[in-house]
Amino acid sequence: MGNNAKQGGWRENKWLRGAIPALLLHMSIGTVYCWSLFSQEIASYIGWSKSSTEWAFSFAIFFLGMSAAFLGNIVEKDIHKSSLLATFCFSIGMAGTGFFIWYGGLHQKSVVALVGIYLSYGFIMGVGLGTGYLSPVKTLMLWFEDHKGLATGLAVAGFGAAKAIASPIMTSMLDGLSVNKINEVGDGVYKMFYVLAAVYFVMMFVGHLLLKKPAGWHEPTAAEKGPSKFEVIKSKPIGTYIGIWVMFYLNITCGLALISQEKMIVKCIGLAAMAGVMSTISAVFNAGGRLGFSALADGMKDRNTVYKIIFVISLGLTVLTVITKGIHNAYDFDTNTQNMVLVILVLALIFMVNAGYGGGFSNVPNLLADHYGMSNISAIHGLTLSAWAIAGLTGNQMASYIVNKVYASKAYEVVIDGHNYTVNPEGYQAVLVVTAVLYVVALVMSLVLVRPSAKALEAKAAKKAAKAGK
């Protein structure tokens, strides 16, 4: 197996063959996080409750992680097959979602429509998400050997930035495409999915055509094939992999728990008129964290240090918000007065948790590569993304359960800019108590279980030897 990535003039193509196709793929599939923009419209249009349709998003994240876990070997063998599979699954899933929304509008409370949306947005799109997420990652790591963190950060930053870019476009389409209304919701909600299916098919297909590994690199043949992904993982202390998986899972769970309540938290602190702007800013922090934290890790001996930084920042801001009851005390609805210090604290919490959430994604493939090498990285990374699958079913659902069930009696009605809203500051504060505990567990995992990689130990030994030689 040879990797002559630095030879044969490959540098002139690393953007065309690595970075641009990765962005085209990730900026398409990353729009899965725009679900909250139209979930209520879908629910109203087909006559089901919002909580019923919310499972479509949870299923999408679940099948994203599980398809990455089980199809990682396909990505490892052939990025062209996997990127083409991603293109078709994502586009067909999106078009299918539009079809079943249309069908549900004609047949109110149709189980067929609801299950069809679960299958289209959840399962079919989920498979496209998982294979599309993995396909460009190893390729980028090969093109940018000396800056792997920057490279993977660039790709998954596209995944995070997709929401910020697509949100205003989707919002405009929901209104602009509407002609007739059902249950006071315009039919633009299903037409939008048809248009986006076509647009994202073109983007992803172009990315599929451009995506190529560096000249000189070839995947191992059957004779050259080394140990399986499980054998590679077991070749190192198993506690290290368990620690990486668990801290990755907890970071996603905590991120989703807060992000799922973000819109209402922003309204609770008196910024209802700026909710859309705040959502865009948080999406920018999400993308910035993916790029910034991974680029920062390139200069570190041990990439696990980045996770310690993420957990300390997230835990510190969460604890401060819990102690000050920031969400509850930032705005007084009776007197219409704001405590700007607490408003800034809550916004800092939202933005930095988004940044840490994104940074966790961009750093995990490089952390795994440092520990287990590049030979099976797509398969091992895919297996690790099963943490994302399970977090997709637990993060936002856990937060929703706390707010809507455990603390349901604490909710109350308020009027903001002439609109009635149900808010539950104490419920949101309780979510933060849970995430604070989970961040502590994640930090302990990072400190105790995840041992330094061989690369980090070599760097430490070299530094000690240099000091001794002086």
Smallest CA-to-CA distance from 36 within 167, 132, 200 is with 167
Three-class SS of 169-236: HHHHHHHHCCCCEECCEECHHHHHHHHHHHHHHHHHHHHHHHCCCCCCCCCCCCCCCCCCHHHHHHCC
SS3 state at 237: coil
Higher-confidence residue: 443 or 231? 443
Q: What is the per-residue pLDDT for 9? A: 47
**Contact (CB, 8 A) for 110 and 182:** no
- CB 93: neighbour CB atoms within 10 A? 25
Q: What digits encode the pLDDT tens for the residues 200-254?
A: 999 999 999 999 888 766 665 555 556 777 888 888 889 999 999 999 999 999 9
Average pLDDT over residues 172-179: 90
**Contact (CB, 8 A) for 53 and 35:** no
Torsion angle, alpha carbons of 68, 70, 76, 82, to 10: -60
pLDDT band at 456 (very low <50, low <70, confident <90, very high): low
Q: What is the per-residue pLDDT for 7? A: 43
444, pLDDT greater than 50: yes
Q: What is the per-residue pLDDT for 397? A: 85
412-416 and 419-423 strand pairing? antiparallel
Q: What digits encode the pLDDT tens for the residues 98-131?
A: 999 999 999 999 999 999 999 999 999 999 999 9
pLDDT band at 2 (very low <50, low <70, confident <90, very high): very low
Smallest CA-to-CA distance from 24 within 120, 121, 118, 140 is with 140
Q: What is the per-residue pLDDT for 118? A: 97
Q: What is the per-residue pLDDT for 10? A: 43
pLDDT band at 421 (very low <50, low <70, confident <90, very high): confident
Q: What is the per-residue pLDDT for 222? A: 54
Torsion angle, alpha carbons of 52, 58, 63, 65, to 10: -170
Query: What's the length of the chain?
Result: 470
Indicate the class that CATH gives domain 227-461.
mainly alpha
Q: What is the per-residue pLDDT for 12? A: 56
Q: What digits encode the pLDDT tens for the residues 122-170?
A: 999 999 999 998 888 878 878 887 777 777 777 777 877 888 888 889 9
Q: What digits encode the pLDDT tens for the residues 342-370?
A: 999 999 999 999 999 999 988 998 899 88
Q: What is the per-residue pLDDT for 72? A: 76
Percent of the residues in the chain that have a pLDDT greater than 70, as a whole number: 91
pLDDT band at 432 (very low <50, low <70, confident <90, very high): very high
Q: Which helix (H) or strand (E) holds 464?
A: helix 454-469
pLDDT band at 6 (very low <50, low <70, confident <90, very high): very low
pLDDT band at 65 (very low <50, low <70, confident <90, very high): confident
Residues of the chain with CATH 1.20.1250.20: 14-217, 227-461
Smallest CA-to-CA distance from 460 within 341, 283, 265, 304 is with 304
Q: What is the per-residue pLDDT for 460? A: 63
Average pLDDT over residues 431-438: 97
Q: What digits encode the pLDDT tens for the residues 274-284?
A: 877 888 888 88
Q: What is the per-residue pLDDT for 333? A: 82
Average pLDDT of the residues of the chain: 87
Q: What is the per-residue pLDDT for 1? A: 39
Query: For the domain 14-217, what is the CATH code?
Result: 1.20.1250.20
Q: Give the whole-angstrom CA distance, residue 150 versus residue 169.
A: 28
Q: What is the per-residue pLDDT for 274? A: 85
Q: What digits encode the pLDDT tens for the residues 178-194?
A: 988 998 888 999 999 99
